[in-house]
Amino acid sequence: MRAIPLLSLLLSGWFIVPAHADEAQDWLTRLGQAEQQQSFHGTFVYERNGSFSTHNIWHRVQDGKVRERILQLDGSAQEVVRVDGRTQCVSGLLMAGLGDSPNSAARTLDPQKLKNWYELAVIGKSRVAGRPAVIVSLKPRDQHRYGFELHLDKETGLPLKSLLLNDKGQLLERFQFTELNTSDVPSDNELQAGADCKAIALDSDKASAGKAAQSWRSDWLPAGFELTSSTSRKDPQTKTQVSSLMYDDGLARFSVFLEPLNGASVVDTRTQLGPTVAVSRRLTTPNGDIMITVVGEIPIGTAERIALSMRSNATATQ
């Protein structure tokens, strides 16, 4: 019964009329600027699928570079270090949702673009980690993406709390600071990766990545999603070249992985863990069978439709 007040609170902000859209756009602009301009360090909790973890974060903006280190405090000391949004090293099995693709650069929020796909509204005030915050709601205009409730620090615009919600207002993922210091700039020592943080080898084949982007297309994508990057690298286990295409609507993102099967026996699958889904299906092409896998924080029905829509630019048969 203790979950009922929380659900009621979430729903109360979920179904409101989206007033104050201009104010919401202003706050999202501040959010985008804050993460590129504001140094800070603190502690946050991450919740997904009923599982919690606690993390320290150090974030420094200096000489035009954004350097960030995140260290998990529960269980094994899992760690990630990023520079300008690109992962430099990782240790342990990072919890999904905290680690991006190694060559995924930091994104800049564009409220003018987001308002085409989300209803933006300022829906109230709150207090997180002892700091006053403004609550901004981003409610999707269709069923192909999730909604967000952001609690932004009044002083800096930084996200103190973020809730990812499905179409019923149910909580899928929570990020929330328990402590935040914006006065002291993290030191070189605090940003230094631990000995177990292994460097990421960026061995992706740019020529193959470009070819992958040209060789594949989707006959259907949710409105607003665009191809933003492509990579190609050799799988260390199967030794086959795996191509990936990343799509983005300015806030949500998903990736499509394309792997030649070379006669391997596989079955179509669909799984979901919290907000993250993975849908795989076999596609027969003139060049052999391909396993297509869609992974991202999108509804599972949307992921399935995307997987079914992938086509080789060569004539394909199914």
The SS3 assignment for 54 reads strand
Domain edge (last residue) among 140, 166, 199 = 199
Taking the C-alpha atoms of residue 188 and residue 148, their distance in angstroms, rounded to an integer, is 34
Domain stops at, among 146, 166, 199: 199
- 53 pLDDT band (50/70/90 cuts)? very high
Q: Is a pLDDT exceeding 60 seen at residue 114? A: yes
- Checking if the pLDDT of 49 tops 60, the result is yes
Domain limits at 52? Answer: 3-199
Q: Regarding predicted confidence, which is higher, 76 or 292?
A: 292
The HSE-up count of residue 200 (CA atoms within 13 Å, CB side) is: 22
Could you tell me the pTM of the whole model? 0.84
- Verify that 183 and 215 share a domain, yes or no: no
| Cα(194)–Cα(175) distance, integer angstroms | 24
Distance of CA 296 to the CA centre of its chain: 8
- Asked, for residue 94, whether it belongs to a domain, the answer is yes
Instruction: Judge contact between 140 and 118, C-beta under 8 A.
Output: yes
Q: Which of 204, 197, 244 has its CA nearest to residue 82?
A: 197
Instruction: Give the pLDDT score at 139.
Output: 97
Average pLDDT rounded to a whole number, residues 243-247: 92
- Separation between Cα atoms, residue 103 and residue 117, nearest integer Å: 26
User: Do the domain assignments include residue 182?
Assistant: yes
Q: Does residue 89 contact residue 193 with C-beta atoms inside 8 Å?
A: yes
Query: What total number of domains does the chain contain?
Result: 2
> How many angstroms separate the CA atoms of 279 and 269, rounded?
6
- Residue 89 lies inside a defined structural domain of this protein: yes
Of these ranges, 66-75, 229-238, 305-314, the one predicted with the greatest mean pLDDT is: 66-75
pLDDT for 318 equals 41
What's the CATH code of the domain at 256? 3.30.200.100
Q: Is residue 193 part of a domain?
A: yes
Question: Facing residues of 159 across strands?
Answer: 152
Using a 10 angstrom Cβ sphere, with 0-12 exposed, 13-18 middle and 19 or more buried, the burial of residue 157 is buried
| pLDDT for the residue 215 | 81
Q: Once rounded to an integer, what is the mean pLDDT over residues 96-111?
A: 56
Q: What is the phi-psi region of residue 74: left when phi exceeds 0, alpha when psi lies from -120 to 50, beta otherwise?
A: beta
CB 292 within 8 A of CB 316: no
Instruction: Categorize the per-residue pLDDT at 7 as very low, low, confident or very high, splitting at 50, 70 and 90.
Output: very low
Answer whether residue 318 is part of any domain: no
Position 201 scores a pLDDT of 66
- On the question of pLDDT at 6 being above 70, the answer is no
Residues 236, 180 share a domain: no
pLDDT tens digit string along 131-154?
999 999 999 999 999 999 999 999
CATH number where 150 lies: 2.50.20.10
Q: Indicate if 238 and 267 belong to the same structural domain.
A: yes
What pLDDT is attached to residue 214? Answer: 74
Q: Do 35 and 65 fall into the same domain? A: yes
Residue with tokens 């179509």: 268
Give 90-114 as a DSSP string: EES-PPTTT---TT-------HHHH
Residue count of the chain, please give it.
Answer: 318
Q: How confident is the model at residue 1 (pLDDT cuts 50, 70, 90)?
A: very low
C-beta of residue 310 within 8 angstroms of C-beta of residue 292: yes
Which has the closest alpha carbon to 159: 143, 170, 148?
148
**How far, in Å, CA of 83 to CA of 69, rounded?**
9
- Domain match, 158 and 15 both: yes
Same domain, yes or no, for 21 and 73? yes
DSSP string, 168-223: T--EEEEEEEEEEE-SSPPPHHHHSPPTT-EEP-----HHHHHHHHHHEEES---T
* 218 plus 159 within the same structural domain: no
In a domain, 317, yes or no: no
pLDDT score of 2: 33
For the chain, the average pLDDT equals 85
- Residue 190 — pLDDT band, cuts 50, 70, 90? very high
Gap between the Cα atoms of 271 and 300, Å rounded: 8
Note whether 228 and 127 are same-domain residues. Answer: no
Percentage of residues in the chain with pLDDT exceeding 70? 83
Do residues 282 and 273 lie in contact, with contact meaning Cβ atoms separated by under 8 Å?
no
Q: Are 143 and 236 found together in one domain? A: no
Query: What pLDDT does 211 receive?
Result: 63
Q: Are residues 248 and 170 in the same domain?
A: no
pLDDT of residue 293: 96
Q: Could you count the other beta carbons within 10 Å of the beta carbon of residue 311?
A: 16
Is 151 found in the same domain as 214?
A: no
First to last CA, the chain: 49
Pair (227, 119) in one structural domain = no
